[in-house]
Amino acid sequence: MQWRLGGYQEAAPAAATSTFSIMASEREDFSLSGPMHLTNVDWKNAHHRRSAVASLVRGVRILERDRQVKRRGSQALAPPWWKFFHFQLHRQLVDDEDSSIFGAIYEFKPPESHYQNSVDERPCYVIAFRGTIIKPGSMLRDLELDMSIIINRLHEKSRFETAIQAVRNVVAKVGESNVWLAGHSMGAATALLAGKTMAKTGIFLQTFLFNPPFISAPIEWIKDKRVKHGLRIASSVTTAGLALATEKNSRNSRSVDPFATLSAWIPFLFVNQGDPFCAEYIGYFKHRKKMYDIGIGAIERLATKNALVSLLMTAMGMESEPLHLIPSANLIVNLSYLTPCQEAHWISQWWRPDLPVKSKQYTY
């Protein structure tokens, strides 16, 4: 039998009575579900780079699962997810509220036999953040942080403070060109906010965001293109109008456009068109270009950097910067529809060797 895993087929467990927990355990085993085909990573190759970084992010999740189920020593499943690519675990990032592991700092330590020209393209350190884990030991805190992402308050959470301080420390130690950021789902939101925070100070870190959450109505899922385009135009006009009114009433109006300041930072966004959590990024960037093409780019220029939730919170006296909105990006779209939609959100899809993707760079 075959069962579906992250968009490709893996051998099913031998026992017909295998439970979901056993299947979940197999997904955590690198030898069963990791990109074993990458025996020699070429860091100049987009697929190799994407697969390796996604595996490091996966390693953070397995670190936390090892902690939760008390897998230690030879029983731990996390180490192969980074050791296979010649990384060492430099430090775990631990949440001070529930003691869960939410991130990791990896250091690249290849053997001399693996030094080659492509090594010049690799990072010295990768700081990776996991997504939400709906398991005892992390669930309540993770769901709290998911909610903070929806209302754009992640920057106030102690977990993000731990994350951004770790990023600053590593950058100060080895320089910005030697540090990469990465994350999946909630972890992608953390990496995105960290990247934006550093970019505001003129430090642009290479950043890999897998299935980053886009807080919006799922307009991209509408099949009728005219209805979809009409809704986007209406949304842009409404958002731009509210943004203009808010700016006029604000005492903190800025002469410098902070969105333009961020435009030189171009993170990699990996989204699946079948994933309701991140698919809206596709329409977000496409619509921006269409608005300029039809001659109403001024409206979209105002709308693209604002979100209705943030504007309403600002109007109520609660300063709120939309986390998910960014001026520029390398958008990589997985063109295969994975069913159920839960699988379209799995990080394992991103190391599939025959993955059909479409890439485009958008700049502000």
Model confidence pLDDT, tens digit, residues 129-165: 999 999 999 999 999 999 999 888 999 999 999 999 9
Beta carbons within 8 Å of 25's beta carbon, 6+ residues apart: 77
- Give CA 212 to chain center in angstroms: 4
Distance CA 343, CA 269 (A): 18
Instruction: Please check the confidence at residue 354 and state whether its pLDDT lies above 70.
Output: yes
| Mean predicted confidence (pLDDT) in 342-359 | 92
Which residues are CB-contacts of 289 (< 8 A; sequence separation ≥ 6)? 362
More confident residue, 319 or 316: 319
What is the reported pLDDT for 218? 65
**116-125, 146-155, 216-225, range with the lowest pLDDT:** 216-225
| Range in 31-45, 202-216, 314-328 the model is least confident about | 314-328
Range from 24-38, 134-148, 220-234 carrying the lowest mean pLDDT = 220-234
Per the document, the length of the chain is 364
State yes or no: pLDDT of 311 exceeds 50.
no
pLDDT given at position 360 = 94
